């Protein structure tokens, strides 16, 4: 059996700032690369604070996952790259609001810088399709 690597960046999600697509799907496995809290309509940050940016990232993940036959309940692992660990509670507040009772494995890493000015955190994830 040959596995095909499918890549995409669906409409209504932030456009990548480099030469890549957000989503990679191989069979039932899905990865979504580093995503910032950018409003896909305006192209601007969803807000100046961690809560707004985290909420937007997770909303973008919802759209991306739907585009490849999945949803947030099929997320296996999320990495969070946070510029300031003092924002951990605000990130968690948005995370709980969007993720509900689904609690996939998660890693939170403090980082010194992120590529887009004003970005306070990025996230990436691993998921599976609904089937």
Q: What is the pLDDT of residues 50-67, one digit of tens each?
A: 999 999 999 999 999 999
Q: What is the pLDDT of residues 93-116, one digit of tens each?
A: 999 999 999 999 999 999 999 999
Question: Is residue 46 predicted with pLDDT exceeding 80?
Answer: yes
Interior angle at CA 49, CA 117 and CA 23, nearest 5: 65
Helices (H), 6-129: 50-67, 88-99
With a CB cutoff of 8 Å and minimum separation 6, the contacts of 88 are 82, 108
Question: Is residue 18 predicted with pLDDT exceeding 80?
Answer: yes
Task: Count how many domains the chain has.
Answer: 1
> In the prediction, which pLDDT does 51 show?
98
Average pLDDT over residues 30-36: 97
Question: Is residue 17 predicted with pLDDT exceeding 90?
Answer: no
Specify the CATH number for the domain of residue 29: 3.30.1330.40
Question: Is residue 3 predicted with pLDDT exceeding 90?
Answer: no
Average pLDDT over residues 2-30: 93
Category of 7 on φ-ψ map: left (φ > 0), alpha (ψ -120 to 50) or beta: beta
Question: Is residue 20 predicted with pLDDT exceeding 80?
Answer: yes
More confident residue, 131 or 124: 124
For residue 102, what are the CA distances in angstroms to 1, 2, 43, 75, 83?
Answer: 32, 32, 29, 9, 25
Domain that holds residue 55: 5-128
* Average pLDDT of the chain, as a whole number: 96
């Amino acid at each position: 059996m040959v596995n095909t690597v499918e890549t995409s960046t669906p409409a209504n999600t932030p456009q990548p700032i480099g030469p890549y697509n957000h989503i990679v799907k191989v069979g039932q496995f899905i990865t979504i690369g580093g995503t910032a809290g950018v409003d896909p309509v305006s192209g601007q940050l969803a807000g100046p604070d961690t809560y707004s940016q985290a909420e937007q990232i997770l909303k973008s993940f919802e759209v991306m996952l739907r585009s490849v036959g999945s949803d947030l309940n099929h997320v296996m692992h999320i990495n969070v790259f946070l510029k300031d660990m003092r924002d951990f509670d605000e990130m968690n507040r948005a995370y709980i609001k969007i993720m509900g009772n689904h609690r996939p494995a998660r890693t939170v890493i403090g980082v010194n810088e992120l590529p887009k000015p004003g970005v306070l955190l990025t996230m990436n994830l691993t998921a599976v399709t609904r089937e």
